[in-house]
Structure 1
Amino acid sequence: MSESHSHFQIRPRFKVNLSQSPDLIKSQLEEGLNKGDSGIYGTLIDGHATLLLPKEDQHYWSPQLGLSFESSDSGSLLRGLYGPRPEVWTMFVLFYSIIGFAALVISIIGYSNWSLGQSAQVLWAVPVLMVVFLTLHLVSYFGQKMGRKQMTQLHTFVESALNIQIRE
């Protein structure tokens, strides 16, 4: 996996120009998936692919790789996006939204009380919510670290199936 994936990104991605046509990319990926020696499985639909690890190897933090490939002047443009399964991603977005909404409501109430000369002690909840937000962010960081090996497996599969080196 390229060096740029060694630092933390919420959803690492890559983009590479290829000389192959989108149809050839699709058939190469299908061939790689049908071989079955990598254990990777997925779906291919109209210029898009989702690659996953075998169910028995998956854990809560297992990544998936979404690929899109489209025609370009030089052949094709391949884009990849690593991320958690949709249910994990949705859960984190929900938690971040709840924290943000709670901080907004508490801030409005607290500053309203403050401007009216009343007690604004509720504002102490805002730093607590920020700590919860940062803790959630750290949890996602460690979860991505736990999925690093599997992310490398997906990356290696794409390079092998398409017979390319992905550098960023």
Structure 2
Amino acid sequence: MYSDTELTEKESVIFLDEIQLYPDIITKIKFLVDEGKYRYILSGSNLGVELKGIHSIPIGYIESWQMFPMNFAEFAIASGITPGILSHLSECFEKRQPIDSIIHDRLLRTFYYYLIVGGMPAVINTYNETHSILRIDQEQKNIINQYKADFTKYELENRRLKIRMWSWKRYSA
């Protein structure tokens, strides 16, 4: 394995992305973990589909996580709303009590931004750093283009044109 950074045994974490392209790594990771020098994080897209063909999955060595966009509460916290305010909102909702108008206005404004920004972490970072709608739009389009490129790797050849045509019509209008 090659790395520009010096690895420290028992401390360094090795991150391997797009492992579905190298299914043998899944089987061999057990031996690397047993060796005990490093920790490993494996990631990839469509892993649930891609890993079905693997003959020997190392049981007890893999913990699967599915990642999702941030929900509104996570967005609100990332945007500076404290968890205490969200807890207060929840309590007021359960007791059917009104909340202070200042809190209401701030949460409503945050929700409007959430509708524009969405839940993708990179876009939220752009929003928090710049508050520029133009930059947010560029980051969203960048992510959409990356998804489109990734989708076409898994689509049948005769469906690729349909995906590209739908995308072009949707975003060029």
TM-score w.r.t. length of structure 1: 0.34
The structure showing larger relative contact order (alpha-carbon pairs under 8 Å, at least 6 residues apart) is 1
**Greater strand percent: which structure?**
1
**Greater helix percent: which structure?**
2
TM-score w.r.t. length of structure 2: 0.33
